[in-house]
Each structure stands twice: as structure tokens, then as C-alpha cells.
Structure 1
Amino acid sequence: MWFHNLQIYRIPAPWAISAEQLEAFLAKRVFAPCSSLEMQTQGWTSPRDSGQLVHIVDRQMLIALRTEKKLLPASVINQVTKDRAAEIESEQGFAPGRKQLKDLKEQVTDELLPRAFSQLRTTHVWIDPVNGWLIVDVSSPSRAEDALKLLLASVDKLEASGLRTVHSPLTSMTDWLVADEAPSGFTVDQDTELRANGEGKATVRYIRHTLEVDDTRRHIAAGKQCTRLAMTWNDRISFVLTEGLAIKRIAPLDVIKEESDPTNRNDSERFDGDFLLMTGELNKMLNDLVFALGGEPAV
């Protein structure tokens, strides 16, 4: 299994919480489906359908957040409320007041909720207690924050913070394009986004397009900065780095796929082997990327 996106946090290393302790913490907030009157529920679930809330391979931990959300559009609630209000006005001879409309809207919501469709979503979190990484596999920072908030509420005295580097990705990516030189161990690929800081935030995007040095330098000289940059690390992993220090569109390349040989392995062994390979490669890639961004600031 491979993560597709990385929202990156730091935890103290070595991490003092064992897999058994983490299991006990998460067990207090296990996922339960929505009741008939709930719009959304969240909780921890088994990442491998084994009943265990923490899957561990060579000290690397994998946990999973399950979210159920009722799909009940506000437009539907408002339309039904409007129709009911018209009926009430016809019966009583005058339009419902503000409080009556508020109560009516709540009543309509309660009536419609049991019939609403549900959307289930699972968010995986990788915890590296050896090197101090806490990685959430989502593209949205807000969804990563949801997972982190529940983890902070579940685990006593958990310390976690967003990854910070001495040089910002925005400045570094722009500098790499101006110099036409990627940092050691990396190459620049064909996708990038350049955006101006002005009110209009004029944006230029290159998609599967060779970056011409003169073109990118001209845009940068005009005041644009690089906000997204596709890169490859050591011919092993391709990804897109964002200005917010998130990593998206991760793809292991052929050299890694060849090392993940599924021959004569069952599903469990294949999963564990791929997870161990992924965590090992991503740990090295993250270390190189942090170094390329000037390292982490001293505390």
C-alpha cells in the first residue's frame, strides 16, 4: 500500500507511546455509525479489518480514521421548510415568525435525516515513532486537521506540530526554477504553477509541459512565485510539492515496483512488505527534502 498524499506533522522522536498503549487510547473513541439524528460521526477503525486499531510493521504504525456523513443538502431542507411554511401561513392566516421558522427547519431536518444517504470515508495515518513523522494521507489540510484533532483528543499528552523548515517551499521552488537547478537528489518534472502576489493573483500552470527556463524566469521576474512543483526523488518517487509543504500525487516508480515482488506472498505479507517499503522510502525522501529546504529551525 502506498499513500497518495502527505500532510506532514512532527512528533517527538523516539516516541514514547507503544503500539499497545496507542491501541488502548484509540479504543476509547472507536467509530460508531450515525444515529438517525446525527449528521456526522468520526472514530478509529481497524486499518486492516483485523479488529486491531493499530497495525504495526517493524515499529512503523498505521491507524485509520472512519468518518460517516449524512448527505442532506441545505437546499433540500430549505425547500421543504419553505413548503411547510406556506402550508402553515394558509392555515393560520399569517406567515410564520422567525422563531417558528427556526423550529420548523429543525423539525424538517430531524424528519429527513433518517432517509438521507450516508457517505463513508477512511483516512489513513502513518506514525513513525523512530524518526518522528506523523503523516496523514489526504490532499486537504482541513481533513488532516480533523484526523489530528481526534488523535490529540484520543491520546493523552500527545505532542504534534506541523513540519517547519528554514526556507519556505515557495521561496525555494522559485529559486530552483530561476537557477534551473534542482537540489541534490531531485529533478524537476513537467508540472508547475506560478502565481502572482497581487490582487488579481494571476496564475500560470504548466501541465505535462517542458519548462522553458526563459519562460519561467520571465514570469518570476514579473512577480510570480512557484506555488506547486512536480519533482522526482532519486528516480524512485515522483510527487508534487506545494507552497504549504504538503506533498501530493505520490507515485512509486518502476525501480521501486520491481523491489515489491508479490511472488509467493499472501495478501497480508504483500501489504506488510509494501507498507515497510513505503515508510522506508518516504522517510529517506522526507529527510532529503527537509535538507533541501534548509533543515528544520532550531527550537
Structure 2
Amino acid sequence: MFKNMIVYRIAEQWQGTLEQVEEALARTPFIECGATQERSVGWVPPRGEAEGPFAESVAGQWILRYMSESKMLPASVLNRKVQEKAEAIERASGRKPGKKEKQELKDEAKLDLLPMAFTKQGGMWIWIDTAARFLVLDTGSQSRADEVVTLLVDGLPGFAVALLDTQTSAQAAMAHWLASQEPPVGFTIDQECELKSADEAKSVVRYARHPLDIDEVKAHIEAGKLPTKLALTWDDRVSLLLTEGLQVKKITFLETVFDGQSKDDGGFDADVAIATGELSRLLPDLIEALGGEGRTALGEALPAALQKPAAEVLAVRLAAKGQGGAVTGPKEAPEDSEPDAAPF
């Protein structure tokens, strides 16, 4: 069900109920773009049933479905329409439109063209784990994640979140795992990786379907190239691509997850149960592999049970510094680069 994950911590002070979430989402349902509307966003029933609830609970896990629609208006088409209008004015009055008038012509041309434009829709799964207090968005785009979080914060009184933060940055940890060829407990290193230099050249080395336990990879790290992406497999059950910004992409549930299940066992509830069941166990292991959680942007220390011993954190940091001076402080926000995967 989930192909990507951007993970947030939900503030302790928010204690909303499923009914409150349902009521809030119902106030901003998704409606397709009108004739002259460029973009529309809102909520749809996650089961896909007309008049269904906007928030579903499956085995205690809450699932929401965000939808957006945009009009596809190529710049070349718009510019040609503006040029036609400008030429018409010049023929009629003998003067060329000024800069301000051209902007007005552009707005006018856009209104003329929008009713004929094609539309593009995109959906996103949202998972709220109330027990672990995680908000998980099925997207690889930070800008789209920000849009959804803003919608939730505006609609749910007291709702506040912070991006998941760990004691060791994902980049430092990945550099250590590759240089030492010692992946964290429960994980194996797969055959995909991207390394990027921090200098002005910004040179990039990519490996795909290639073993990474080679001296060449270690040499790149020693030369200052740091991993921005690394493919991993967790517990022989889930494969994934971890990024330097602590995003998880290309999530694939392996055959072992479906052992003993019939092909007829599918459906919304089964998909939710499988996805949240596996990912709710993967996330704590990934956090532990990165030294445990740090302080949240909400200004509160997380519970002691979620923190890891300082000695364990220090060992990872020192090992990473010895392999090209990897930065181990708080992570920067991930770049908005890749489109979201299609749901299911």
C-alpha cells in the first residue's frame, strides 16, 4: 500500500479521536477543478466508496486519503495565446502592450485556456499510528508532504507534528555501513547506492544492480563522496531505499510477508493490515539503527524509552567521521525531487 514514507512525530498534547478527524476532513472534501480553476485539493474516502467516511480505522491504525487535481497547461501554449492577443492589440491600436498589460493578457489567456486543459490527479495515503504517535505520508516529495501537513494542522485543533529526527544523520550512518560493510542489526545492504561529493563539483556516482561490498565504494567515501541513497532490506520482509533526508522510498513487501495468505485475502483491510503491520515494526528498528531519536522540533524531549545509549550513538558518529568527515548533526529538509508513486 505504501511505496514511500515521510515520517513525523505527533505532539503529545494532541489527543484527537477518530470522530474528530472524520469531522474535520469532511469540511474540506476533494472537489474536481472547476472550468477556470487551476488546482483543487481535499480529502476522499480511503475505501473509494461514495459517501464513505473520510477516516478509517483498521486494527487501530487510522488511514486517510488525500487527493489533488491540477490543470495541465503547457507554457508554450499559454505563451502563444498571449502573443496572439498582443499582436491583435498592436494591429488595432498601433502600439505594443507594455509589461503590465502583458501580465493582464497572460491572466486573460489562462482563463481562456483552462476550460480546455487536461487534468491530472494524484492521491496520497496518510497513516496515523496513535499508539506510537507517528504520522506517515506516502510521498517522496517534501513539498507535497508540507501541503498535507498544513491541511491537517489547519483542520485539527491542537494538531502539531515535527519531522522525525535521529541522533545520527541518515547520511553519516549510511557512510559508516558502506565503509565498514556492517549494516545495522536486522538489515542487509542491497545493490543500489548514490554517492555525491560535497565540493563545488557536486560529482555523483551511482550504482544499480551492483554489489557494494567493493573497495571502489570505500575509496569514494574516503575521497569525500557521501551517500545520498542506499538500498536496504529489513528482516527479509521489506526492501527500501533510504535517503540522506531520512525519507524512505521504493518500499516493496517481499514474498515472505505473504506466506500462508491466499490471493483472495486482498482488499482494503488486508492491504492496510499488511502495510501498517510491517512498517510499524520496521520504523523502530530503523530509528534504532540511526542511534535513536533526538529532540523534536516541538521543543520537548521524547520519552526515555525511545532514546538510545549515548555510547552507541558516539560509536557510530566516530566511525562515520573516520570515513570522509560525514556530517552527523540534524538533517536538512530533503529536496523535493521525485514524483509520488501510484497508490497500491
TM-score range, shorter chain: over 0.9
Q: Could you list the structure 1 runs, at least 4 aligned residues long, displaced by more than 6 angstroms after superposition.
A: none
Shift of 1:153: 1.5
In 2, distance between residues paired with 1:163 and 1:260? 33
SS of 1:189's equivalent in the other structure is strand
Listed as ranges, the matches of 1:115-154 within 5 Å are: 115-154=116-155
Matched, 1:156 2:157: yes
In 1, distance between residues paired with 2:147 and 2:11? 20
Matched, 1:275 2:276: no
In 2, distance between residues paired with 1:12 and 1:111? 46
In 1, distance between residues paired with 2:274 and 2:14? 21
SS of 2:154's equivalent in the other structure is helix
Matched, 1:290 2:287: yes
SS of 2:259's equivalent in the other structure is helix
User: Which consecutive residues of structure 1, in runs of 5 or more, have no partner in the other structure?
Assistant: none
SS of 1:29's equivalent in the other structure is coil
Listed as ranges, the matches of 1:1-299 within 5 Å are: 2-12=1-11, 16-50=15-49, 51-263=52-264, 265=265, 270-298=267-295, 299=301
Q: Deviations over 1:96-139 (max 9, x none)?
A: 12232222221111111111111111111111111111111112
SS of 1:112's equivalent in the other structure is helix
Structure 1 pair 290/259, CA: closer, same or farther in 2 (3 Å)?
Answer: farther
TM-score normalized by the length of structure 1: 0.94
Structure 1 pair 213/176, CA: closer, same or farther in 2 (3 Å)?
Answer: same
Counterpart amino acid of 2:276?
T
SS of 1:96's equivalent in the other structure is coil
Shift of 1:244: 0.4
Shift of 1:297: 1.1
SS of 2:192's equivalent in the other structure is strand
Counterpart amino acid of 2:19?
E
User: Which consecutive residues of structure 2, in runs of 5 or more, have no partner in the other structure?
Assistant: 296-300, 302-344
Q: Deviations over 1:28-57 (max 9, x none)?
A: 111112122210010111111232101111
**Identity, % of aligned positions:** 38
In 1, distance between residues paired with 2:100 and 2:251? 51
Cα contact 2:8–2:164 (8 A) shared by 1: yes
In 2, distance between residues paired with 1:220 and 1:4? 29
In 2, distance between residues paired with 1:257 and 1:115? 45
Structure 1 range deviating more: 161-170 or 28-37? 28-37
Structure 1 pair 70/128, CA: closer, same or farther in 2 (3 Å)?
Answer: same
**Number of paired residues?**
294
Cα contact 1:29–1:43 (8 A) shared by 2: yes
Structure 1 range deviating more: 169-178 or 41-50? 41-50
Cα contact 1:260–1:274 (8 A) shared by 2: no
Cα contact 2:193–2:207 (8 A) shared by 1: yes
Instruction: Please give the root-mean-square deviation of Cα atoms over the aligned residues, in Å.
Output: 1.5
Shift of 1:14: 9.2
Shift of 1:259: 4.5
TM-score normalized by the length of structure 2: 0.82
